[in-house]
Chain A
Amino acid sequence: MKRLPTGGRIRRDRPLRFTWDGRELLGFEGDTLASALLGAGVDVVGTSASFGRPRGITSAGLEEASGFAQILSGGASEPLVRMTGVGLYEGLAAESRIAKGYLATDMDGGRFDKRYAHCDVLVIGAGPAGTAAALVASTAGARVIMVEADDEVGGALLRDQELLDWKDQSFATLAAAPETRVLTSATAATMLDQNGAIVAQRIGCRVSPSARGGLCEQRLWHVRAKAIVLSTGALERPIVFQDNDRPGILLASGARAYLHRWALAPNRGLVFTTTDDGYRTALDWHAAGVEVAGVIDPRPHGRGELPQKATSAGIRVLHESVVETTFGDEAGRIRAVRVRTPSGAEEIQTDLLAVSGGFEPFLDLHLQRRGPTRYDATLGAPVPSSTLPRQWIAGAANGSMTLRDSLTEGARAAREALAAVGFTAKDWTPPTTAHIEEDAPSFLWLVPAPDGDESRSFVDLFRDGTVLGVERAVGAGIRHIEHVKRYTVIGTGVEQGRSAKTNAAALTARLTERPLATVGTSGSRPPVEPLSFRLLAGRATGERFEPVRTTAIHGAHVALGAVFEPNGQWLRPNHYPRPGESMEDAVRRECRAARTAVAVMDVSTLGKIDLRGPDAVWFLEQLYANAIGTLPVGKARYSIMCRLDGSILDDGVVMRTAEDRFFITASTGHAAAVVDWMEEWLQTEWPDRRVFVTSLTEQLSTVAIVGPKSREVLKDLAPDLDLSKEAFPFLAVRRGTVAGISEAQVARVSFSGELAFEVSVPWDLGAALWSSLLSEGEPFGILPYGLEALQVLRSEKGYIIVGQDTEGTTTPYDAGLGWLVSKEKDFIGKRSFARPALKAPDRPQLVGFLPEEPSFVLPEGAGLVSRVSPPPMEIHGHVTTSHWSETLGRSFGLAMVKGGRARHGETLYAPLEDRVVPVTLVDAVHYDKKGERRDG
C-alpha cells in the first residue's frame, strides 16, 4: 500500500518517529502501528509460527489474525500486542513477533495503574449503536462510562464515512456532560459476575515520552455497572482459499478503513466478496482515484444498490466467480490471483486483495459469561438469543447490520437500561440515514484448492491452522467443535481465532455433513486481548507488593546488624551476625547465651488477645482442648485449640488476669486467624454469650528474657516484683514496674526450656525496655537472639510449631499433647477423637530423631523409610524440624512417623539425592526432660 497525498484522519503536520526491528521509520499522529508500517512501505510484518510463511496485516481492527508485535517501549516490554490496536507515538519501538512474544524481565520500568469506577450505564463500543446509547443515557442524567478499544470513537462510521458530523456533535455533547466519561484505547477485556468489567486502557504510552508528564503508561479499570449496553459491533470474516495468507490480502472493511482513516491505498485493488458490503471498498477506491482490478462475487447477479453502482462506475464485476489461488512476488506478497469463472480461469494482477466473507456479531464479551446464542441463517453465524441480567446488546453486535437499525437499537437499549436503573429517558431522534438496500450474502466459506492441496488454505493465520488440519481432525473421528479446536489448534491463539472460528465451524459442518446451526462455534474466554502481567500487577510491585510490618524495636535490630526474615507480613530478626561471622556461628553463639547465661528476643509479633466477659470461662472451655476453669487468677497455661475435626488449629498461652478476663497469646502466623475463629463461634453459634474479644497484638511490645541469668537481669529492673522461685513460680503472671515502665505484665513462660520471663509493655515503650534489658544484662553476657536460635532451642525441648511440625490433620494426640486434653469437659473437636480414623495406631506421631552421622543436618521435609530400595519406597514419615544443636553437640530433629511413639530406638533411613542417612528415632524431648531448668 502507499500513502495518498491527501485525505485520511492522520495529522500530517505531526510526524512521529518509531522503530521497527531496529529500523527508524516515520508515521503520523493518528496512525496505528499497523497503518504506520503500511504507510512506510512495510507490508511483511513477520513470519508465521509453524510454517515460517511471510505474513502481513490482515485487518484494521479486532479481526487481526497475524499483525502482532513485541512492543519494547511504553514502560515494559509487552508481547503479542495487536498492531491494529496500538496507536503510534514518538519513540514507539516494536519487534516483529507474530505468535511468539517474550515476557519482560524488568518490572520497574514505567507506571501502571488501577482504578475502580462505578456507573449506572456502561456502554462498550463507540460505534453508531453505542454512541446513540450513550447519548440517551447521558442526557437522562445517568452516570455513564463508555469504553472504546480504538484510539478514535466512531466505529464503523469512520471507515464508511457516514454521519461524521453527527458523531462529532454527539461526542462534544458527551464530553460536556458532567457524569459521563468516554475512555478511548480502552479494551473491555473481561466481563465479571454482577456486571463487572475489567477494562485495559493505554494512556501515557500513546503520548510521546517528553509530553507524558505524570501519566501512567497503562491503566486497568475495574468498572461496576448497574446496566451494560454491549455495542461491540461486528467482525468481518475472511474466505478460505489456497495461499490466502499472503501479505496484501486484507478484509474488505479493513482495506476501506485504511483508505479513509489513514489515506492508504493499493496501486491496483481487487475485491473478493460474498456480500454487497464488499462493493463499498471497490467504490471507495474508485472514488479516490485508485485503480480497481475488479470485484469477484460468487453470487449469480448483483441486484443490490452497491453492485449496481459499481457496474455504472465502470468497475469490472465477475459473478459466479471465486479466487481459487494466489501468486506472490519474491517476498511472498500478493502479485496476482487466479479466478475461477463460469467460462474458465483467469489471472488478475493486484497488490491488494480485499476479502469479505460476511459479517457476524462480535460476541466475545457476551460469551465470556456464557450468554446464550442462536444460529442466524441470514448471517451464517451465532447471534445473541437473550441477554444476561441488566445487559442489553445493540446494533451489529446484535446481528442488526444496517446503520439505521444500529442507531434505533442503541437508543432502545439505553432507554430500557435507564428504566431498569431508575432513570427516565428523554425524547431522542436518530439522525437521518440513507438506507441502502443490500442483497443477501452467500455462504461460500471455502474455495477448494484447484490442485487439491489444502495444506496452504488457511483457516487460522495466527496458528497456521489449515483446511487439511480440519480434514485430519474430522478424519480422526472428531466431531465436536471444541475438540476440533484442540486437535487443530484453530482458535487457540491470543486472538482466540476471532476471524477463524466460524469458518472452522462451517468446514467441520461440511465435512461431517451436518447443518452449521448444529455444530455451533467454540467458546470465548477472558480476556478478549492479552493483559500484561505488568498491568495486572499495577503499583503492587517491589516494596509495594505487600505491606511490611515491623515491631517497635525494629530500629534496634537494624542497629545490631540483624539479618531479617519475613514471618507472615512481619519482618523479624533471623540472627545477629557479628562482622565476618557466619550464620551458623551466630546461631550457636546465641543458643549458648540462652542456655548458659541470658538472651533476649523481641516476641512482639505474637498474637495477643484480650478476652473478657461474664461468659469468658465458659467460652474458653469450649474453645480449648485443655481445662481453663481450673486456672487461677495470676497463672498461665499452655493451651491448644482444635477444629471440629479434631485437628490442631493453634497453640498458645492462656493467662487469667481476673476472674472474667484473660490474656491470650497465639502464634505469630495465626494471630488473625485465632481472633477470627473466636468471633466466628461467638457470632454464629453463641450470639447470646457475653464475651468480648479484642486484639492487642499492635498494642503491646513483648520481650522474652531467657536463660539461667534472666532472673538476675530482671531483678534490678523490677525492684518491686519478687522474682524468687517461691513467689514467682513457673507459669505465674504478675504486673509491676519494669525498667521504669509501670503496669508492665511479666509472665514466667518459656518457649526455650530455660528459666524465662516475657515482659509486655505499651507498644511505643518496647524499644526503651529492650535497651534497658541489654544494658542491664551486659555484665551477664546478654545477647539478642533471632528466629533461627529460637527454632533450635524450642525443638531441643520438643516444643512444636503449629503448621511446621503439624499439618491440617494432626491431632493433639498425634503431636504428643494428649496429656493436655481434658477428659472431663466437652470442647470443639472432642467428638472427633472418638472416630476410628483418629484412633488408628499407625497415625503419624511426633518423635525426635538423631542422625547416625552427628555432624549431618538433614533437610526438613526429607522422607523416612524403613527399607531402602529402588523407588517407590513406602514412606513411614518425614522430617519436620532439623538443626544442629550446640547444646547436644550434634545434629537432631523432629519428625512425624507412623505410630512413631511406639518406635523409639528404631532406625529409619532418609534417602536423599546423593546419599542415604540412617536416623534413630527417640523421644521428642532432647534436653532437660524433667523441665528442671525451666522451673528453676
Chain B
Amino acid sequence: MLLIACPYCGPREESEFRYGSEGVPIPSEADDRTWARFLYYRDSPAGLFTERWVHTHGCRQWFYVIRDTLTHEISATGKLDEAPR
C-alpha cells in the first residue's frame, strides 16, 4: 500500500485514491492507426513515470505523481497545472 501525498490534503493511504494512467494528449487529427494506438497502447517504462491520480475518497481532485515503477518510490506529487512537461 502506497502513501500518496495529495497536494490538497496531504499524505493519505493509497486506498483513498484511484489511478489515472499517464494522461496521453488526445490527438486532434489522427488516422485510424494513430487513433487506435492512442486508445489502446501505453508506455510501461521501468523507472520514473509521471502519472495522474485522483483523490476519489477525499477532495476528488486530480494531480500528478512521479513514481518509480521499479521501487514504487514516489519522488514528487503536485497540482496538474504545475506538472513537469
- A835 pairs with B32, CB closer than 8 A: yes
Closest residue of A by beta carbon distance from B72: A193
Interface residue? B76 (CB, 8 A): no
Q: Residue A645 contacts which of B1, B2, B39 (CB distance < 8 angstroms)?
A: B39
Chain B nearest CB: distance from A445 CB in Å? 35
**What are the interface flags for B1-43 relative to A under an 8 Å C-beta threshold, 1 for contact and 0 otherwise?**
1110000000001000010100100100010100110011000
Bound CA span A222–B26, Å:
40
- A831 pairs with B3, CB closer than 8 A: no
Interface residue? A529 (CB, 8 A): no
Interface residue? A329 (CB, 8 A): no
Interface residue? A432 (CB, 8 A): no
- B39 pairs with A687, CB closer than 8 A: no
Q: A194-B2, A194-B3 are in contact. Are A684 and B52 (CB under 8 A)?
A: yes
**What are the interface flags for A647-669 relative to B under an 8 Å C-beta threshold, 1 for contact and 0 otherwise?**
00000000000000000000000
**What are the interface flags for A177-192 relative to B under an 8 Å C-beta threshold, 1 for contact and 0 otherwise?**
0000000000000001
**What are the interface flags for A214-225 relative to B under an 8 Å C-beta threshold, 1 for contact and 0 otherwise?**
000000001010
Closest residue of A by beta carbon distance from B40: A645
Residues of A within 8 A of B60 (CB): 676, 679
Q: A389-B73, A680-B54 are in contact. Are A193 and B20 (CB under 8 A)?
A: no
- B3 pairs with A224, CB closer than 8 A: yes
- B54 pairs with A676, CB closer than 8 A: yes
Pick from A116, A645, A683, A832 the residue with the most CB of B within 10 Å: A683
- B73 pairs with A194, CB closer than 8 A: yes
Bound CA span A687–B79, Å:
12
Closest residue of A by beta carbon distance from B70: A370
Bound CA span A620–B13, Å:
33
Interface residue? A875 (CB, 8 A): no
Bound CA span A835–B54, Å:
30
Closest residue of B by beta carbon distance from A195: B3
Interface residue? B62 (CB, 8 A): yes
Closest residue of B by beta carbon distance from A672: B56
Residues of A within 8 A of B44 (CB): none
- B39 pairs with A832, CB closer than 8 A: yes
Residues of B within 8 A of A836 (CB): 32
Closest residue of B by beta carbon distance from A193: B72
Interface residue? A834 (CB, 8 A): yes
**What are the interface flags for B71-85 relative to A under an 8 Å C-beta threshold, 1 for contact and 0 otherwise?**
111100000110000
Interface residue? A899 (CB, 8 A): no
Closest residue of B by beta carbon distance from A390: B73
Residues of A within 8 A of B2 (CB): 193-194
Residues of A within 8 A of B40 (CB): 645
Bound CA span A679–B54, Å:
10
Closest residue of A by beta carbon distance from B73: A389
- B72 pairs with A680, CB closer than 8 A: no
Chain A nearest CB: distance from B35 CB in Å? 6
Interface residue? B50 (CB, 8 A): no
Residues of A within 8 A of B32 (CB): 834-836
Bound CA span A192–B39, Å:
33
- A193 pairs with B71, CB closer than 8 A: yes
- B26 pairs with A644, CB closer than 8 A: yes
Interface residue? A15 (CB, 8 A): no
Chain B nearest CB: distance from A389 CB in Å? 6
**What are the interface flags for B55-67 relative to A under an 8 Å C-beta threshold, 1 for contact and 0 otherwise?**
0100011100000
Chain B nearest CB: distance from A286 CB in Å? 51
Residues of B within 8 A of A222 (CB): 1
Closest residue of A by beta carbon distance from B56: A676
Closest residue of A by beta carbon distance from B23: A684
Bound CA span A834–B35, Å:
10
Residues of B within 8 A of A196 (CB): 1, 3
Bound CA span A116–B40, Å:
39
Residues of A within 8 A of B30 (CB): 831
Bound CA span A194–B81, Å:
26
Q: Residue A683 contacts which of B1, B73, B80 (CB distance < 8 angstroms)?
A: B80
Closest residue of A by beta carbon distance from B64: A684
Bound CA span A271–B72, Å:
48
Interface residue? A685 (CB, 8 A): yes
Bound CA span A191–B4, Å:
17
Closest residue of A by beta carbon distance from B33: A835
Chain B nearest CB: distance from A114 CB in Å? 12
Chain A nearest CB: distance from B44 CB in Å? 18
Chain B nearest CB: distance from A227 CB in Å? 14
Chain A nearest CB: distance from B55 CB in Å? 11
Residues of B within 8 A of A116 (CB): 13
Residues of A within 8 A of B36 (CB): 835
Pick from A684, A687, A834 the residue with the most CB of B within 10 Å: A684
Bound CA span A43–B23, Å:
63
Closest residue of B by beta carbon distance from A837: B36
Closest residue of B by beta carbon distance from A675: B60
- B20 pairs with A680, CB closer than 8 A: yes
Closest residue of A by beta carbon distance from B29: A831
Residues of B within 8 A of A835 (CB): 32, 35-36
Closest residue of B by beta carbon distance from A831: B35
- A194 pairs with B61, CB closer than 8 A: no
Residues of A within 8 A of B74 (CB): 194
Closest residue of A by beta carbon distance from B39: A645
Residues of A within 8 A of B81 (CB): 687
Residues of A within 8 A of B72 (CB): 193-194
- B62 pairs with A680, CB closer than 8 A: yes
Bound CA span A834–B32, Å:
8
Residues of A within 8 A of B80 (CB): 683-684, 687
Residues of B within 8 A of A831 (CB): 30, 35
Q: A834-B32, A836-B32 are in contact. Are A683 and B3 (CB under 8 A)?
A: no
**Can you list 14 A-B contacts (CB < 8 A)?**
A193-B1, A193-B2, A193-B71, A193-B72, A194-B74, A389-B71, A389-B73, A676-B54, A679-B62, A680-B20, A683-B80, A687-B80, A834-B32, A835-B36
Q: Which residues of A contact B (CB under 8 A)?
A: 116, 192-194, 196, 222, 224, 389, 644-645, 676, 679-680, 683-685, 687, 831-832, 834-836
Interchain residue pairs A-B with the least CB separation, the first 8: A193-B72, A683-B62, A645-B39, A684-B62, A194-B3, A835-B32, A192-B1, A196-B1
Q: Which residues of B contact A (CB under 8 A)?
A: 1-3, 13, 18, 20, 23, 26, 30, 32, 35-36, 39-40, 52, 54, 56, 60-62, 71-74, 80-81
**Beyond A194-B73, A644-B26, A683-B54: 8 further Cβ-contacts under 8 Å?**
A196-B1, A389-B71, A644-B39, A676-B56, A683-B61, A683-B62, A685-B26, A832-B35
